[in-house]
C-alpha cells in the first residue's frame, strides 16, 4: 500500500497528461478498429453511452456539491472534508467518472486488447491517486474521515442512490459550466478524433466529415462561450463548493 501511495502522489502531479499519453500509446500499439468491421456500429454506440455515463457522473457531482481537491503546488490538498451531494454515497465520484470515461474511450476505439489493457491501466492510475488522497485525508481529518470511510463506499454508490441524492439537492448549472467546460470539450474532441480515425480506416471519412466537422465546430463555440462567461464573470455559481 505504501508503494501504491507513493506512486499516487507522483501520478497526482502529472494526472492531466497521464491519460492523453495512455490513450496515444495504447491506440498506437492497438489501433482503433475500422467502422466497417462487423459490429462496430453497436460497439461505438455502447462506448458513447459508457462515456456519457462517466461524464454525467462528473457533471452531477460538480452540480450538487463540488469538492476542492485540485491540489496546491503540485501536492494533494483539501480545505474541508466534503460529504454532501454525491460524496454522501460515493467517496470518489469524480474518479469513478474518470475511470468510466476511460473505459468509454477505449470501447469507442473498438480494439478488444486496447479496451482491456487501457482500462486496466487507467483504473490502476486512479486507484493509486485515491490511495495517496486517502492517506492525506486520514492524516488531516483523522477519526472524521475514518467514520466517513466506514459509511460510504470508495467507488460505486448503492443502486438508486444517485436519484435520491439528485432529487434532494438544488443543481448548480453555473458551477458545471464554469468548472467542467474544459473537460467537456476535451471529452468531445477525443471522441470525435477516435470516430474520424475509425472512419478513415474504413475509407468513409469523406462521408463522415461534414457531421464530424459540424460537431467539432459546435464544441468549439460552446467552449468559447463558457470561457467568456468565466473570464468576464458574467456567470457565477451559487454553490461555493
The per-residue pLDDT of the chain, averaged, comes to 90
Ranges of H-type helices in 110-172: 112-141, 143-151, 161-167
Whether the pLDDT of residue 82 is over 80: the answer is yes
Residue-level pLDDT at 15: 82
Q: For the chain, what are the domain ranges?
A: 2-171
Cβ atoms of residues 65 and 85 within 8 Å? yes
Task: Write out the E strands in the chain.
Answer: none
More confident residue, 72 or 19: 19
* pTM of the predicted structure, to 2 decimals: 0.91
Residues of the chain with pLDDT > 90, as a percent, come to: 67
Handedness of CA 102, 20, 131, 3 (dihedral sign): positive
> Alpha-carbon distance 53 to 97, whole Å?
7
Residue-level pLDDT at 71: 58
Yes or no: domain 2-171 corresponds to CATH 3.40.50? no
pLDDT in tens, 165-205: 888 778 888 889 988 999 999 999 999 999 999 999 999 99
First to last CA, the chain: 30
pLDDT in tens, 40-79: 999 999 999 999 999 999 999 999 876 655 555 567 877 7
Cβ atoms of residues 208 and 199 within 8 Å? yes
Locate 109 and state its grid cell.
476505439
Instruction: Say whether 171 sits in a helix, a strand or coil.
Output: coil
Residue-level pLDDT at 239: 56
Model confidence at 241, in pLDDT bands (50, 70, 90)?
Answer: very low
- Please give the helix or strand (H or E) that residue 19 lies within, else none: helix 15-29
Nearest to 101 by CA among 142, 60, 148, 52: 52
Residue-level pLDDT at 66: 65
pLDDT in tens, 86-110: 999 999 999 999 999 999 999 999 9
Model confidence at 120, in pLDDT bands (50, 70, 90)?
Answer: very high
Cβ atoms of residues 70 and 127 within 8 Å? no
Amino acid at each position: 500500500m505504501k508503494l501504491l501511495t507513493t506512486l499516487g502522489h507522483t501520478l497526482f502531479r502529472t494526472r492531466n497528461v497521464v491519460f492523453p499519453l495512455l490513450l496515444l500509446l495504447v491506440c498506437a500499439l492497438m489501433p482503433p478498429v475500422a467502422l466497417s468491421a462487423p459490429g462496430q456500429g453497436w460497439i461505438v454506440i455502447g462506448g458513447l453511452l459508457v462515456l456519457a455515463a462517466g461524464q454525467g457522473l462528473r457533471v452531477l457531482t460538480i452540480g450538487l456539491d463540488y469538492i476542492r481537491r485540485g491540489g496546491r503546488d503540485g501536492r494533494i490538498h483539501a480545505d474541508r472534508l466534503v460529504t454532501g451531494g454525491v460524496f454522501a454515497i460515493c467517496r470518489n465520484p469524480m474518479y469513478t467518472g474518470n475511470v468510466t470515461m476511460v473505459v468509454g474511450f477505449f470501447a469507442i476505439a473498438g480494439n478488444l486488447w486496447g479496451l482491456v489493457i487501457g482500462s486496466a491501466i487507467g483504473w490502476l492510475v486512479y486507484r493509486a491517486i485515491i490511495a495517496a488522497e486517502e492517506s492525506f485525508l486520514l492524516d488531516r481529518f483523522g477519526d472524521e474521515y475514518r467514520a466517513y470511510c466506514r459509511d460510504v463506499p470508495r467507488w460505486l454508490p448503492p443502486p438508486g442512490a444517485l436519484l435520491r441524492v439528485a432529487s434532494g439537492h438544488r443543481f448548480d448549472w453555473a458551477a458545471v459550466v464554469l468548472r467542467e467546460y474544459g473537460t467537456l470539450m476535451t471529452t468531445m474532441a477525443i471522441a470525435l478524433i477516435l470516430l474520424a480515425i475509425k472512419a478513415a480506416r474504413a475509407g468513409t471519412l469523406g462521408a463522415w466529415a461534414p457531421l464530424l466537422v459540424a460537431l467539432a465546430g459546435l464544441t468549439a463555440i460552446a467552449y468559447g462561450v463558457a470561457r467568456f462567461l468565466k473570464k468576464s464573470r458574467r456567470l457565477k455559481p451559487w454553490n461555493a463548493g
